Structure 1
Amino acid sequence: MKLQSAVIASILFAAVPVFSAVASPASSSAKAGIDWQKDNNVDAAFARAKAGNKPLFLYWGAAWCPPCNQVKATIFNRQDFIERSRHFVPVYLDGDSPSAQKLGARFKVRGYPTMILFKPDGTEITRLPGEVDSERYLQVLTLAMNTTNSVQDILKSALAGGKNLKAEEWSLLADYSWDDPEQKLVDVKDVAATLLRLSDLAPTGHDATRIYLKALVAIANVKPGQTAPAFDKAVAADKLQKALADQAVARDNMDLFTNYPADLTELTTTAKSDARAKLMAAFNSALLKLADDSSLSKTDRLTAVDGLVALARQENPKGTLDANLLKDVKTRVAQIDQATTDAYERQSVISTAAHALSNAGLLDDSDALLKAELKRSHSPYYFMLSLASNAKKRGDKTAAVNWYEQAYKAAKGPATRLQWGSTYVSGLIELAPQEEGRIEKATQSVLAEIGGTENAFYERNRASLERMGKKLNEWNKDGKHKVALQKVRTQLDGICNKLPANDPQKAACQGVLTEAKS
Structure 2
Amino acid sequence: MILGGLLVVIGCRPRSVEQAGPQVTATPESIAWREGDVNAAFRDARQTGKPILLYWGAKWCPPCRALEATHFRNASVVAEMRHFLPVHLDGDAKGAQRWGDRFHIGGYPTIIVLRSDGSEVMRLSRVAAPAQFAAALRAMAAQAAPISALLGQALADPGKLTHDQWEAIAAYDWLDTSGRFADRAANAHMLERLAVVAPDPKLARRFAIYALTPRTIAASTTLSASEQSEVWQILPELIGSEQEVSSNLPYLGYVAPRLIAALPPSPARTALGNHLLRVLDKAAEDEQLGLADRVRTLDAEIVLAKADNGGRIPAAVVARIYRRIGQAERAAHTPALRQSVLEAISDILVEAGDAREAARILGNDLSHAAVPAYYMRALGQIEAQRGDTFLAVRWARRAAEAAVGEDSRLRWAIDYSMTAIRMTPTDGPGVNASARTVLAAAAQGRGNYSTTTRDRVDAWRKAYARWCRSYSATCSS
What TM-score do you get using the length of structure 2 for normalisation? 0.86
CA offset at residue 357 of structure 1?
A: 1.8
Instruction: Show the counterpart of 2:10.
Output: none
Report the alpha carbon displacement of residue 426 of structure 1 after superposing the two structures with TM. 1.5
CA deviations on 1:170-207 (whole Å, 9 max, x unpaired) are 11111111101113146444111111111111113221
| CA distance, structure 1, for counterparts of residue 212 and residue 206 of structure 2 | 10
Contact residue 45 and residue 89 of structure 1 kept, 8 A: yes
Residue deviations 1:357-382 (CA, integer Å, cap 9, x gap):
22212334322321232122221111
CA distance in structure 1 between the aligned counterparts of 2:256 and 2:411, rounded to whole angstroms? 30
Alignment pair present for 1:454 and 2:446: yes
Deviation track 1:108-149 (CA, whole Å, cap 9, x = no partner) reads 112100011123443322111112343443333233222342
What does residue 265 of structure 1 align with?
A: 260
Matched, 1:239 2:231: no
Contact 1:384/1:403 (<8 A) preserved: yes
Measured in 2, the distance between the counterparts of 1:34 and 1:136 equals 18
Partner of residue 256, structure 1:
251
Runs of at least 5 residues in structure 1 that lack an aligned partner in the other structure: 1-28, 492-518
Question: Does structure 1 conserve the Cα–Cα contact (< 8 Å) formed by 2:112 and 2:122?
Answer: yes
Map Cα deviations across residues 486-514 of structure 1 (whole Å, 9 max, x no partner). x44xx3xxxxxxxxxxxxxxxxxxxxxxx
**2:286 pairs with 1:293:** yes
Give the CA deviation at 1:150.
2.1
- From 143, 159, 165, the equivalent of 2:139 is 143
Once the two structures are TM-superposed, the CA of residue 93 in structure 1 deviates from its matched residue by 1.1
CA drift at 1:230: 9.2
For residue 378 of structure 1, give the secondary structure of its aligned residue in structure 2.
Answer: coil
Deviation at 1:67, TM superposition (A): 0.5
- What TM-score comes out, normalization by structure 1 length? 0.80
SS at structure 2 position matched to 1:93: strand
* 2:470 matches 1:480: yes
The answer to whether the 8 A contact 2:55-2:87 is kept is yes
Look up the match of 2:32.
35
Letter in 2 for 1:331: R
Match of residue 469 from structure 1: 461
Q: Which residue of 1 aligns with 2:349?
A: 357
Q: Would you say the 8 A contact 2:55–2:111 is kept in 1? A: yes
Residue identity over aligned pairs, in percent, reads 28
Distance 1:351 1:63 in 2: 14
**Which of 393, 408, 432 lines up with 1:401 in the alignment?**
393
- Asked if structure 2 preserves the Cα contact closer than 8 Å seen for 1:101 and 1:460, the reply is no
Q: Match of 2:383?
A: 391
Aligned partner of 1:62 in structure 2 is 58
Give the distance between the partners of 2:306 and 2:462, measured in 1 at CA: 32
Q: What are the superposed Cα offsets for residues 207-248 of structure 1, whole Å, 9 maximum, x if unpaired?
A: 111111100103444799xxx999442132331122123333
Q: Secondary structure at the match of 2:470?
A: coil
Deviation at 1:155, TM superposition (A): 0.6
What is the match of residue 208 of structure 2? 212
Instruction: Tell me if 1:435 matches 2:427.
Output: yes
Q: Aligned pair 1:166/2:162, yes or no?
A: yes
| RMSD across aligned positions (CA) | 2.8
Q: Distance in 2 between matches of 1:203 and 1:33?
A: 34
Question: 2:233 is aligned with what amino acid?
Answer: D
- Sort the Cα spacing of 1:177 and 1:32 in 2 relative to 1 into closer, same or farther, 3 A: closer
Other structure's SS at 1:483 match: coil
Match runs of 1:172-211 below 5 Å: 172-185=168-181, 187-211=183-207
Aligned partner letter, 2:457: L
Specify the alignment match of 2:19 in structure 1: none
Q: How does 1:342-381 map to 2 (within 5 A)?
A: 342-381=334-373
Counterparts of 2:386 and 2:218 in 1: how far apart (Å)? Answer: 30
Q: Does 1:87 align with 2:83?
A: yes
Tell whether the 8 Å contact from 1:237 to 1:279 is kept in structure 2 after alignment. no
Shift of 1:262: 4.1
Whether the 8 Å contact between 1:174 and 1:208 is mirrored in structure 2 is no
| More deviation, 399-408/386-395 | 386-395
* Aligned twin of 2:148: 152
CA distance in 2 between counterparts of 1:394 and 1:481 reads: 25
Q: What is aligned with 1:284?
A: 277
Equivalent residue for 2:102, pick from 94, 97, 106: 106
CA distance in 1: counterparts of 2:296 and 2:418, whole angstroms: 28
- The answer to whether the aligner puts 1:126 opposite 2:119 as a matched pair is no
